[in-house]
Amino acid sequence: MIKEVIVVEGRDDITAVKRAVDAELIAVGGFGINKKIIDRIREAQKRQGVIVLTDPDFAGDKIRKIISKRVEGIKHAYISQKDGIKNGDIGVENALPETIINALKSAKCQLKEKRYEFNINDMIFFGLTGKLNSKEKRDLLGKELGIGYCNTSQFLFRLNNYGVTKEEFKIAVNKINKRMNRVK
């Protein structure tokens, strides 16, 4: 399991990286990098560290520079154009798993043990799944913790991979519960 969160351009890149390693990933969606994505990358950098792995082309380089300007201390992983080309298309999604692993090793990625601090019982107990307002609760809690919104299984994965502590989690849950009760 890779300790750092890996930032890529799109969903196909996520699929390619997940074939190579077990890691948390953030897709920036091309040039449309908004404040929400940058905030999530900053939080990931603060908690676990970040490695940027973008396509070996002009657009990938530009995205890498945008992120580097806004988030300090990130690491960079590179694949060559030769290793990222398939049928005239250049991108991380075309790289072999070994190529991706070597790029991450060159970026000095760190390995960690898989963490199981949170499980599905926590999601049920705190009303983050199985309730009418579970989606809204996960959205608010994801914002509060800086890990973003996602479905239950991905939320659980992020809680564990971002190193969220039980104490930090409970404080955040109490905050959002108070906020939600005020709205009623």
Under the banding of pLDDT at 50, 70 and 90, the label for residue 180 is: confident
Contact 92, 36 (CB under 8 A): no
Predicted pLDDT of residue 183: 67
111 domain residue, yes or no:
no
Range name among 13-22, 23-32, 74-83, 166-175 with the lowest pLDDT average: 23-32
pTM: 0.84
Which one is predicted more confidently, 183 or 180? 180
Q: Which of 106, 131, 159 is the last residue of a domain?
A: 106
Contact 118, 156 (CB under 8 A): yes
Instruction: Note the pLDDT tens digit of each residue in 110-149.
Output: 998 888 999 999 999 999 999 999 999 999 999 999 999 9
Predicted pLDDT of residue 98: 97
What domain range includes position 129? 120-183
Q: Using the 8-state DSSP alphabet, how is residue 115 labeled?
A: P
For residues 98 and 124, membership in a common domain is answered with no
For residues 14 and 70, membership in a common domain is answered with yes
Instruction: Note the pLDDT tens digit of each residue in 49-67.
Output: 999 999 999 999 999 999 9
Q: Which of 80, 106, 132 is the last residue of a domain?
A: 106
The CATH number of whichever domain residue 93 belongs to comes to 3.40.1360.10
For residues 38 and 94, membership in a common domain is answered with yes
Predicted pLDDT of residue 62: 95
For residues 19 and 51, membership in a common domain is answered with yes
Predicted pLDDT of residue 30: 80
Quickly count: other Cβ atoms within 10 Å of residue 23's Cβ. Answer: 20
112 domain residue, yes or no:
no
For residues 102 and 147, membership in a common domain is answered with no
What is the total count of domains within the chain?
Answer: 2
41 domain residue, yes or no:
yes
Contact 46, 1 (CB under 8 A): no
Q: How far apart are CA 167 and CA 174, in angstroms?
A: 11
For residues 125 and 74, membership in a common domain is answered with no
114 domain residue, yes or no:
no
Under the banding of pLDDT at 50, 70 and 90, the label for residue 184 is: low
